[in-house]
Chain A
Amino acid sequence: MFDLDRWREIFQSISKNKLRSALSGFTVAFAILLFTLLFGIGNGLQNTFKNEFAKDAMNSIYIWSNYTTKAYKGNQIGRRIQFKNDDFTFLKENFGDKIQTISPRIQRSEDVVYKDEKDRYTVRGVYPEYYVLESAKVTEGRFLNYRDINEKAKVVVIGRMVEKDLFGQLSAFGKQIKMGGIIYKVIGVFSDPGGDSDERFIYTPFSTMQRLYGNNDYLDEFGITYNPNLSIDAAIAFGVKMQRALKKKHNVSPNDQRGIGLNNYASGNKEVSGMMFGLSILILIIGFGTLIAGIVGISNIMVYIVKERTKELGIRKAVGATPKAIVAMIMQEAMFITAISGYVGLLIGVGILEIAGPSLEKFFILNPGVSQPVVIGATIILILAGMIAGYLPAKKAARIKPVVALNAD
């Protein structure tokens, strides 16, 4: 119900009692300002973490082989374990249900030449699925596909820095480069959130590389992304299981940590998500703490305001104000002041975050800010707070006997 007359009463009472209104408004605005800043900074910290891990797919597992460090089943120590194509099949057949994507990888360092420019880069022979693992973005052309694999095509997808080094301002797309004396066609250029070093890779079909470097079925390592539906603990267990299976297959001691190595991002995720969870809880506690402090502050001020207004309320009662009218007036006033000043605090807070945001990056605070739902939630809480803060003193004021109120000053 919108009662213009009541609003007029309230506006008058607010504007004619500026100090009082400013006092309560300031408390609320300050609490919300703090809330916004803390929340924003907390979000900034979280963003930093998220960003740090978004450089590669969060659900990656890498598996590689090495020299054994333990003798096992009659095998000498220091034996070189070599993955082959049948390991690829083995993993796909035995763990297919938990694997989202899998790609074998061969990696070499190679001199790469375009016209007069020449430099040394890491060349990786991979499957098309590898694209997912690096969270790379193709900016021109395309990534490898299965036709390239089947045809053992001499094509490459190069990183942005490779293009920049070799081609300068020109586009590399469709040009031909020479690697190890063989000519390849550039079919795509990618950028990678991992930064410059991740953008100095060159990708070529796994089959092409296997054929041209040794003409055997050897491979260096596997890049896997696990099924994202797996919980972090399940994903860690899954990694351990794969590692154990491969060790068994290659007669590596189960206790040998080097013969077959594994890096499961899930372990890192576990720490990070634990940390993020802790951080969110902390932010929540601090946020609610400031809000509650704000509510307590405004409640105290309301008590003071009602006390100060006792005589006025007595006059209003003498001329016919019902207790309900008194309660409604005080509560509406409190709600109005809390909502408006809370909103002002919010705007100031968002403004400060906006301005100070960029210079906070060195403190691991990235893009600090509050999201729409938080803003709406805080506003609702504020209005509720105004109601709570106004209600008790209003109720008390409405109960004071008119004689007593009139004699107050």
Chain B
Amino acid sequence: MTSRVYQTEAIIIKRHKFGEADRLITLFTSDFGKVRAIAKGAMRPKSKLGGNVELLSYSQLMLARGRNLDIITQAQAIDNFLPIRDSLELMSAGFYLTELVDAFTEENVEDRELFSLFLNTLKEMAGSSDMERALRYFELRLLSHMGYRPQLQKCANCSRQLEPEANYYSPHQGGALCRECGYPDMSARTISVNALKVLRLWLKCDYATACRVKLTADLSREIKNLMRENIRYLLEKQLKSIEWMDRLNSEQKNHA
């Protein structure tokens, strides 16, 4: 990055007001990882940046290196994922994904693999894919990619081969635990045989294959809670958008 001007593709993961009409934008770029940049005048209605630097837009950007922060000089949306924007549930999942990516990444660390995982997840969600499944697959692959691949073959404590029965799972120990190790461990929760099988498969298969797994409502909820606990343990906090997603979920159920 020696030249003053550079181009990259990016997904917008955060934006803040910056002065009166500018925005401070956090981009997850294909070439440079997470980058913060200024979009001058982005809040003005006639801005050429405007909707091209809106949250979750996937855009082609031209940036100029600045003294402190780079400046977005041109932006053209490649995909705005309209179906996501048209649904409150999908939009909320989108908020969650941006928060997740932001929380797990450092600035200026190139990560093409995460970029494409992120992009594919948004495409799947904008397509007809099951949202919860897309989120779970993303969470698991994100953990694995960031160096927190859960140990699911052997007991994470004693290394014994796991029996095909209900075992335990502990984010703190980094994966599944056998009955002997899991039972006394207060941080561990049970994990069903089916959940273990699904997670094992998803760690090594692509999303199309992951979609062939049939998930019952119970199994889906179990995996959701496992992933959620694991992420909360690693980040040492609950992401804010989770509360919102849960709330929408329960309000929808109450209406139905």
Query: Do the two chains bind?
Result: no
